[in-house]
Structure 1
Amino acid sequence: MSDSDDEHSPPVLSAHALAALQEFHRETAEASEQRDPFSLGAMEEDWGMSQFWYNDETATRLAEELIHEAGEGGRIACVSAPSVYQKLKQGVVDGSDRVSAMVLEYDRRFAAYGQDFVFYDYNEPLRLPDHVAPQSFDIVLADPPYLSEECLSKVAQTIKYLSKSKVLLCTGAIMEPHAKELLGVEMCGFLPQHNRNLANNFRCFVNYPSCLLSG
């Protein structure tokens, strides 16, 4: 074998290094299997789909609000808000076992949640499966993926179709005039936070009396 052949031969791991690498892969696989599928961050954000997950404190606060407003046996719809759906399903928020929740999402990774998942494309706001009946949810949480009047207008159609009355909207403060016009909501004092800091001033809006209004 020539010196040139030696230079281009792939490196060979020692038996010790190979064993360590195999152990690392085994532990990583086991950790992945043991991870709570409903934990925040169980699925990575896809910025290409404008995904920004709430931090744990915000997801918990919003989940508590939804449970309180849905009431005993209530139904909750999370539209483009999977991190709050995950918090509801973790079973760590008081009362989460007394409500049911669905997640409407464009990202098909969330199909892992079975019958709770509904594929949702805001460009077709009323294209929903038959088992999602109109005005069948006690409260709807929606977080439109884009800060545009066009996006909010279409998501508002979905919200009105799903909700019996109560709406909790999370979007940029810049959307306040359109949100009021489309959904009759009022800006809250509570400031939602994300795992990654967003440049936009992000707020919550409700159309019912809520403790979120005062912060």
Structure 2
Amino acid sequence: MDNDNITLPADTLAILNEFLAERTQREHEEEQRMINKTGKDAHFEEDWQLSQFWYSEKTKQDIGGAVAKIVEEHNASDFRIALLSCPSLYATVKDVHEQVNIFEYDQRFAAYGTDFVHYDFNEVSADYLVEYHKCYDLIIADPPFLSEECMTKMSRIILSLQRNSASKVVFCSGEVVEPWLLACLPLHKCEFRPEHERNLGNEFVSYANFNFDHYIVNK
């Protein structure tokens, strides 16, 4: 018997194709669910060419705990969080709140599905990312470069993403950017100092437009 010549009836073939399509969809949904639930940043290596440096576990937990308190305090189902250029925070923040977007230039993080937003801080047009304008209640940013140009451009994006004047902003960066940053955004330096898995030469600090230290448990 020549197995190569066996064909299935059309109705049976249709049922089989439908079953295979549904199985593929279930597998995709399960994979996406696991991504959304636990994150997979541990599988992504830092790309030094993109100036990526992952936060230490303690820093991630400190920020995650602060975010949980802020979300609980607002008690709003439509509370939205934007993470700009800090992908190592994604899994931690996602664990405490569902409505989070990770804005990243690195396309690898498209693995986070609809939570991922590709962006380039060098884009300066007024309508850039317009579909996300005035959408976020909390914005956490860690610009990739310690330059005046980067601070200026990132600040413009942050201002466009804030839902309103009450939106909270946390900005983590090297202390050397302070004059440029504070000229662009109404922030103040916090006591909280983010740490990284690797020791970096620059002194890193945090800035915010509210009392961020109040929400940090382990100061």
**TM-score normalised by the chain length of structure 1:** 0.74
SS of residue matched to 1:118: strand
Asked if the contact 2:66–2:215 (Cα under 8 Å) also holds between the matched residues in 1, the reply is no
Runs of 4+ deviating beyond 3 Å: 34-37, 125-131, 212-215
Distance 1:130 1:177 in 2: 28
Asked if the contact 2:80–2:99 (Cα under 8 Å) also holds between the matched residues in 1, the reply is yes
Report what 1:59 is aligned to. Answer: 60
Asked if the contact 2:173–2:204 (Cα under 8 Å) also holds between the matched residues in 1, the reply is yes
Asked if the contact 2:170–2:212 (Cα under 8 Å) also holds between the matched residues in 1, the reply is no
Report what 2:181 is aligned to. Answer: 179
Report what 2:82 is aligned to. Answer: 77
Distance 1:55 1:115 in 2: 26
Superposed, 1:108-147 pairs within 5 Å as 108-125=107-124, 128-129=128-129, 131-132=131-132, 134-147=133-146
Q: Which amino acid aligns with 1:171?
A: S
SS of residue matched to 1:78: strand
SS of residue matched to 2:137: strand
**Structure 1, residues 50-89: CA drift from partner, whole Å, max 9, x if none?**
0000011101211222333343331100000111112122
Which is richer in helix?
2
Report what 1:38 is aligned to. Answer: 39
User: What is the deviation of 1:41?
Assistant: 2.2
Report what 2:204 is aligned to. Answer: 202
Structure 2, gaps ≥5 residues long: 1-33
2:194 is aligned with 1:192: yes
Q: Per chain length, whose mean CA-contact separation is higher, i.e. which structure has more relative contact order (CA < 8 Å, sep 6+)?
A: 2
Q: Which amino acid aligns with 1:113?
A: Y
Asked if the contact 2:65–2:215 (Cα under 8 Å) also holds between the matched residues in 1, the reply is no
Q: Which amino acid aligns with 2:107?
A: R
Which one is further off, 147-156 or 72-81? 72-81
Which one is further off, 143-152 or 66-75? 66-75
CA gap 1:212/1:40 in 2 versus in 1, 3 angstroms: farther
Asked if the contact 2:80–2:138 (Cα under 8 Å) also holds between the matched residues in 1, the reply is yes
SS of residue matched to 1:168: strand
Q: Which amino acid aligns with 1:78?
A: L
Asked if the contact 2:121–2:154 (Cα under 8 Å) also holds between the matched residues in 1, the reply is yes
Report what 2:156 is aligned to. Answer: 157
Asked if the contact 1:191–1:204 (Cα under 8 Å) also holds between the matched residues in 2, the reply is yes
Q: Percent of counterpart pairs with the same letter?
A: 37
Distance 1:103 1:144 in 2: 13
Asked if the contact 2:90–2:102 (Cα under 8 Å) also holds between the matched residues in 1, the reply is yes
How many pairs are equivalent? 175
